[in-house]
Amino acid sequence: MIILFGIFIRYNPEADAHWPEFKKQQNITSDIENDFYFRYPSFQDVHVMIFVGFGFLMTFLKRYSFGAVGFNFLIAAFGIQWALLMQGWFHHLDFNDGKIKIGIENLINADFCVAGCLIAYGAVLGKVSAVQLMVMTLFGVTLFAVEEYIILNLIHARDAGGSMVIHVFGAYYGLAISRVLYRPNLDQSKRLQGSVYHSDVFAMIGTLFLWMFWPSFNSAIAGHGDGQHRAAINTYLCLASCVVTAVMISSVVEKKGRLDMVHIQNSTLAGGVAAGTAAEFMLTPYGCLIVGFCCGIISTLGYVYLTPFLESKLKIQDTCGIHNLHAMPGLIGGIVGAITAAAASKEVYSEEGFKLTFGFEGEFAHRTASIQGGHQAAGIAVALAFGLVGGTIVGIILKLPIWGDPADENCFNDEVYWEVPEDEESLPPPVEYNNHMMGKHTGP
């Protein structure tokens, strides 16, 4: 990384010390117009989601919290470095000097890239080694950069919050890897697959961080002004609707009307996933509530009925249920984006708003709304193909017996890879050092 960064990575004009000269050349009157001041608050929010939100969301297993947070930390820190290079070569390479010019928006996009790999980690949580995760991230970031370039640049689909590019790709990439790495004797670790009271509370911390900051995630790289503003509102409303619906469905399907913490930790976030593609579009406030409502139903029912089916019939052992939180809501988000784009009109968006929202400039200046809708749908197919095919190939590589993965009976257990302190309650009682002190009061 040090060598590659030394050869390729440089600051962009807004981060370089030549900014005062650049400012004069571009007739910029104030430092406040530097993109840093527009993007950094959103970057902070996205960064918290990546390291705290995703990390703690996966701490629900009773004996795998160190691996959930620690390995999440490791692969995210590794992935953002590789993502800056891969995305830079595809999107930000300056052909005049062969350098990648990075600024605050590149850091946000690197976090987005890593998010796809962390989603995939959820499918294999507790069943792979740190080395396997590093290899998985190396290939995942590479595949992500390619599919992102195809979807956003060649097809010219819009996907501000990454329903297709991040969630569909990341989920099916992880599910394909999990299918290839299927463990028929995983029931030997069944005693460790569940949660305990305090582990579910820690996972709920991750849920709340993700839920609070998801509007920033979907609006972080949206266009300044109305696009970013609208993306935050749309996501906010989708999430709110999804929570109420997920709680309702969980109560209906569980015994005695009680709530299942798995649904509250995961299905409540599905609305944010589905809002991603159409985040910038004129989805309308009531439309957002409909999207959140549908996702709350589908995601919660997925945990109840679909996850057991995937494991028993298709041999996909999905530890975190990413198919219900990311895959299906991501597909819904892509479909909503395609329909909303195809139905767009200049009357609703205005002449200038229509052009800016869908990027109808340059070679795409003559594209119509209906054609854009078709290209949005094509973006879903590309994300699916890269996830499934790429995940299958990477899974075959990870199946090689050289990566130090845990045995079937040692899955979901931190003790395989971490120094784990003794639980206080399991320590033996202190030995009485003096018999004549037994039974005597030492206090007043």
For residue 47, the domain's CATH number is 1.10.3430.10
For residue range 95-117, what is the model confidence (pLDDT) as tens digits? 899 999 999 999 999 999 999 99
Total of domains in the chain: 1
How far is 127 from 251, CA to CA, in rounded Å? 31
pLDDT band at 367 (very low <50, low <70, confident <90, very high): very high
163: domain range? Answer: 1-11+42-359+368-401
Whether 33 is covered by a domain: the verdict is no
What confidence score (pLDDT) does residue 422 get? Answer: 78
Amino acid at 57: L
Whether 353 is covered by a domain: the verdict is yes
Tokens representing 260 are 């299942």
Whether 213 is covered by a domain: the verdict is yes
Query: Residue 149: which H helix or E strand, with range?
Result: helix 130-149
56, 59, 180 from 63: Cα distances, Å: 13, 9, 25
pLDDT band at 194 (very low <50, low <70, confident <90, very high): confident
What confidence score (pLDDT) does residue 385 get? Answer: 97
Q: CA neighbours within 13 Å on the CB side: how many for 238?
A: 34
pLDDT at residue 21 greater than cutoff 70:
yes
What confidence score (pLDDT) does residue 440 get? Answer: 47
pLDDT band at 190 (very low <50, low <70, confident <90, very high): confident
pLDDT at residue 444 greater than cutoff 70:
no
Query: Residue 40: which H helix or E strand, with range?
Result: helix 35-48
What confidence score (pLDDT) does residue 66 get? Answer: 95
Whether 21 is covered by a domain: the verdict is no
Whether 3 is covered by a domain: the verdict is yes
For residue range 422-441, what is the model confidence (pLDDT) as tens digits? 765 555 555 544 444 444 44
- Residue position matching structure tokens 């329903």: 163
For residue range 223-240, what is the model confidence (pLDDT) as tens digits? 888 999 999 999 999 999
How far is 59 from 167, CA to CA, in rounded Å? 20
Average pLDDT (355-363) is 91
pLDDT at residue 334 greater than cutoff 70:
yes
Four-CA torsion 169, 170, 176, 179, nearest 10 degrees: -150
184, 427, 440 from 430: Cα distances, Å: 43, 9, 16
For residue range 266-320, what is the model confidence (pLDDT) as tens digits? 999 999 999 999 999 999 999 999 999 999 999 999 999 999 999 999 999 999 9
- Output Rg (C-alpha) for the chain, integer angstroms: 24
Whether 272 is covered by a domain: the verdict is yes
Closest CA to 386 of 86, 143, 51: 143
What confidence score (pLDDT) does residue 223 get? Answer: 84
Mean residue pLDDT across the chain: 92
Q: pTM score, two decimals?
A: 0.92
For residue range 390-409, what is the model confidence (pLDDT) as tens digits? 999 999 999 998 998 999 99
Whether 443 is covered by a domain: the verdict is no
How far is 418 from 402, CA to CA, in rounded Å? 19
Whether 397 is covered by a domain: the verdict is yes
What confidence score (pLDDT) does residue 442 get? Answer: 47
Q: Which of 48-57, 91-100, 145-154, 204-213 has the lowest mean pLDDT?
A: 91-100
Average pLDDT (335-356) is 94
What confidence score (pLDDT) does residue 423 get? Answer: 67
Average pLDDT (335-354) is 94
Four-CA torsion 270, 273, 59, 399, nearest 10 degrees: 120
How far is 43 from 113, CA to CA, in rounded Å? 13
